[in-house]
Amino acid sequence: MSGLPKIAFSKTLESASWANTTLLGGDPVQHVTRLKEQPGGDMIVLGSGLLASALLRAGLIDEYRLIVSPVLLGSGRPMLPGLDQRIRLRLVGVRQFASGVVLLCY
């Protein structure tokens, strides 16, 4: 992963210390819209429910890959904060790992 190009969206960071990382501020929807218009491979959002929610509302997400870990929690943060609509998904793939983790592709 360290060798792959990465983009980090931040309102507070002034520099990114991870190798091959470009730091972007401003509106991530505008940046991702521009990136999707360029030739190249797939992009993935890791670990940011707020970013994923903004991209979802803008219609910029083509596929969802949800990783389910075999842990039950009594409370927590919503996966996609600010999402105020119901999104119908179609399951296109499932991968189960020896650890019990399941990857769901929609």
Domain of 42, CATH number, reads 3.40.430.10
> Is 64 inside any structural domain?
yes
H-only helix segments in the chain: 28-37, 49-57
- Flag whether the pTM goes above 0.85: no
Q: How many domains does the chain have?
A: 1
Which stretches does DSSP call E strand in 1-106?
6-9, 21-24, 65-68, 93-96, 102-105
Q: Does 1 map to a domain?
A: no
Cα gap 78→28, rounded to integer Å: 20
Domain that holds residue 55: 6-105
Rounded Cα distance between 20 and 12, Å, is 19
pLDDT tens string, the chain, 106 residues long: the values are: 788 889 999 889 888 888 899 999 889 999 999 999 999 888 888 878 889 889 998 999 999 999 999 998 888 887 888 777 788 999 999 999 999 999 999 9
